[in-house]
Copies of this chain bind each other. A is one copy, B any other.
C-alpha cells in the first residue's frame, strides 16, 4: 500500500501531512513537500492549486483524526460514565501513540491562523449535547462539566504536547518516555474517575 499503489495526489497529501506537522504552515516550503513526495513542484500546484489549499486539506484530516473517533464514544447512550472514561482513554492513547505531535500541530496552527475551522466539525454542539455531559452533570451538578473534560484531555494529551520539552531538557530518554506513557495509559482513567468522586462544596 506504499510505493506505486498510492496515487500522486495521495503521495503529495501524505508528504504534506508530514512536513506541515513537523514545521508548521509558515515554516514549510512547498519544495520540501514535493521532494518528499517524489514529484515535481509544479505538480503540487496542479493538484492542489496553492500551498494554502493543500494545508487546509491536511488540517481537515488532522482535526477529524483528533476528534472524530472520540465523539461516538462520548455519545453512546448505553455505556456508563465510567465505561466512557475507560474507552475514550484507551482510544486516545492509541491515536496519540501513532500520532504523537498531532495535538501540538492542530493547536498551534489554529492559534496562528484563527481559521473558521468550526465549520469542519461543530465541536461545541456535539460536545454540549453529548450523553457524557449529561452523565457528568448528574454526578457532579455543582461543577461545570467542562472542567472534567479538560482534566481528561489535559492528563491524556499534555504529555504528548509537551514531548518536545521532555526531549529538549532531557527529562527522559526515548525508552523512559514510552514507559512513562504506557504507565499513564493505565493511571489516567483511574485518576479521572477518582476526581469525579470528590465533592467540592465551597467554590
Contacts and interface: CB of A to CB of B under 8 A. Distances in A.
Given A147-B180, A150-B155, 11 more contacts: A24-B108, A24-B112, A27-B112, A104-B111, A107-B161, A118-B168, A151-B155, A151-B191, A154-B155, A191-B195, A194-B198
A129 interface: no
Contacts of A157: 158
Contacts of A27: 24-27, 112
A76 interface: no
Interface majority SS (helix, strand, loop, mixed), chain A: helix
Q: Name the residue among A27, A110, A165, A184 with the largest chain B CB count within 10 angstroms.
A: A165
Interface in A147-203: 147, 150-151, 153-155, 157-159, 161-165, 167-172, 180, 183-184, 186-187, 190-191, 194-195, 198, 200, 203
Contact of A164 (B111, B184, B186): B111
